Amino acid sequence: MTSQFGQFCPIALASEVLAQKWMLLVVRELNAGATRFNEIRRGVPRISATLLKQRLTQLEDAGIVARRWVQPDGPDEYVLTKAGTELKQVLSAVGTWGQRWARKIENDDLDPSWLVWAMHRRIDTSMMPNGRTVIAFHFTDAPRNHNLFWFVCKHPQVDICVKPPGFEEDVSVVTDTRTMAEVWRGIRPLRQSISNGRIQVKGRSALQRKFPEWLMLSVFVSAKQRPN
Amino acid sequence: MTSQFGQFCPIALASEVLAQKWMLLVVRELNAGATRFNEIRRGVPRISATLLKQRLTQLEDAGIVARRWVQPDGPDEYVLTKAGTELKQVLSAVGTWGQRWARKIENDDLDPSWLVWAMHRRIDTSMMPNGRTVIAFHFTDAPRNHNLFWFVCKHPQVDICVKPPGFEEDVSVVTDTRTMAEVWRGIRPLRQSISNGRIQVKGRSALQRKFPEWLMLSVFVSAKQRPN
DNA sequence: CGGTATCCCCCGCGATACTG
DNA sequence: CAGTATCGCGGGGGATACCG
């Protein structure tokens, strides 16, 4: 595995570890703050456990990830080292390029539970009323039992439920996965999608009017859109 | 092949094309100005012809590369599109990170002909005397018949020869591959390596003293070295 | 020079089952 | 929850030969 490319060019040496399947996505999750094995997996659901462990070991060998154990015999925690945090520049460059130039979104990319997982990290709970706020999401195109999600928000925490949390819903959002995904990516305007009914927001009017302020979008929306 | 990762995240979509074996190295060559098939191959010698063609096709499908034909029935030329030139940000981020954090150089990375190919792109011919200047390189550790190279420089052109070009050598450089590679990478200082004899520079003293000015090093030398 | 065509091998990776 | 063990296959990709 060493000297895969037969070059001492820094791009080649970096590619040996970074340019592998899933690798950048694992780093993305760690950079987003995930530390536990299954926490990482939620952000990269289609990776197998075997392969995720293998990738984490490779990252550790490369000095990008450090393993810590909270309690003896407890599960490991994975954190980025200094070398790992500096990969933020790479993630940013790749994501910015992808936002602008990557292929169109296909239906198989549209996993509502991944969308929800991504969104829950970008809820601005500081803009919410004091106490608890519950937001319900209903994705009309998704199969039953995988189409309903609840965000239970209590500053600064956002928990995801896949069953009714038992608290009253303050705001309820109904739309299809593609619409919400495109809004999340910044390809489609949120407020306009609400006003034209592609996204229905229900709830007390004082709250539902606030919803767009709570939802920060993907960190890459600011990347300039492609021409033509 | 579509939706390899099941996510519409721009990093995932970009990874589908970029995070494949050899891909970034091919883009690096195109970014460095290579346009012809075998010109690219000289910068990525260990890729097979089959696979290089496959990668170029994938880049074309992704809108990163455009194929042009100079004459009908002539060979293709490959050039970066707008989307392709914007990958410079990715190359820069990966290279900068790699310069700082990638693994140490191993012996199998040390291909003298690749080193020479990399160097010949970074010769500052504008600093040379008018007319022709010939620089000879002798890598003492490399196998015979693959250890001698000549740069025939005539502003702004630098041609590589693997046989004596028939012109008198103005400057002759003798060293081992690792030393020259480390100098190229900015890990080892050039002038000090000359003064301590690890790199021997021969020729008329007016010219040999100029040699360090001619040799611009890797574009990534300016990346801050790692701590520890 | 700039590719294709073919063969074939290996191993990357997914799936499943099992464990502390 | 956080992995490990095992199996099996598909295809990525290396090697070689061939071609216009």
Sequence ranges of chain B with CATH classification 3.30.1050.10: 107-214
Write out pLDDT tens, residues A43-63. 999 999 999 999 999 999 999
Question: Could you give the CA distance from residue A31 to residue B161 in angstroms, rounded to a whole number?
Answer: 47
Give chain B positions within 8 Å (CB) of A179. Answer: none
Amino acid, single-letter form, for residue A82: K
Question: Could you give the CA distance from residue B150 to residue B156 in angstroms, rounded to a whole number?
Answer: 16
Architecture of domain A10-101: Orthogonal Bundle (1.10)
Which of the nucleotides in strand D have any atom less than 7 Å away from a protein CB atom? 1-6, 12-17
| A186-215 burial code (b ≥16 CB/10 A, e <16) | bebebeebbeeebbebbbeeebbebbbebb
What is the fold, at CATH topology level, of the domain defined by A107-214? Nonspecific Lipid-transfer Protein; Chain A (3.30.1050)
Judged by CB atoms closer than 8 Å, whether chains meet at B97 and A90 is answered as: yes
Question: Could you give the CA distance from residue B38 to residue B52 in angstroms, rounded to a whole number?
Answer: 10
Residue B95's pLDDT is 98
Q: What are phi and psi of A5, to 5 degrees?
A: -110, -10
Residue B169's pLDDT is 96
First to last CA, chain A: 42
Question: Could you give the CA distance from residue B150 to residue B211 in angstroms, rounded to a whole number?
Answer: 14
Q: What stretches of B46-147 adopt beta strand conformation (E)?
A: 65-69, 76-80, 133-139
Residue A198's pLDDT is 98
Structure tokens given for B105: 């150089």
pTM of this prediction? 0.96
Q: CA–C1' span, B50 to C7, in Å?
A: 14
Amino acid, single-letter form, for residue A27: V
Write out pLDDT tens, residues A102-155. 999 999 999 999 999 999 999 999 999 999 999 999 999 999 989 999 999 999
Question: Could you give the CA distance from residue B80 to residue A128 in angstroms, rounded to a whole number?
Answer: 47
Alpha helices (H) in A68-166, listed in sequence order: 82-85, 88-101, 112-120
B19-38 average pLDDT score: 97
Residue B225's pLDDT is 75
Question: Could you give the CA distance from residue B165 to residue B213 in angstroms, rounded to a whole number?
Answer: 23
B69-84 average pLDDT score: 87
Share of chain B above pLDDT 70, in %: 99
Write out pLDDT tens, residues B86-134. 999 999 999 999 999 999 999 999 999 999 999 999 999 999 999 999 9
- Residue B33 DSSP symbol: T
A72-81 average pLDDT score: 87
Residue A33 Ramachandran class (φ > 0 left, ψ -120 to 50 alpha, else beta) = left
Question: Could you give the CA distance from residue B173 to residue B180 in angstroms, rounded to a whole number?
Answer: 10
How many residues are given for chain B? 228
Residues 6+ apart with CB under 8 A from B39: B29
Residue A187's pLDDT is 96
Q: Which residue is nearest nucleotide D2, judged by alpha carbon to C1' distance?
A: A75
Sequence ranges of chain B with CATH classification 1.10.10.10: 10-101
Q: How confident is the model at residue B1 (pLDDT cuts 50, 70, 90)?
A: low
Residue A56 CB-half CA count within 13 A: 25
Name which residue leads in pLDDT, B2 or A153: A153
Residue A25 has pLDDT above 70, yes or no: yes
Residue B228's pLDDT is 64
The reply to whether the CB atom of residue A3 sits less than 7 A from any atom in nucleic acid chain D is no
Q: At what angle do helices B10-18 and B23-31 cross, to 10 degrees?
A: 80
Write out pLDDT tens, residues B167-222. 999 999 999 999 999 999 999 999 999 999 999 999 999 999 999 999 999 999 99
Residue A228's pLDDT is 63
Give chain B positions within 8 Å (CB) of A23. Answer: 19
Residue A189's pLDDT is 97
Judged by CB atoms closer than 8 Å, whether chains meet at A19 and B16 is answered as: no
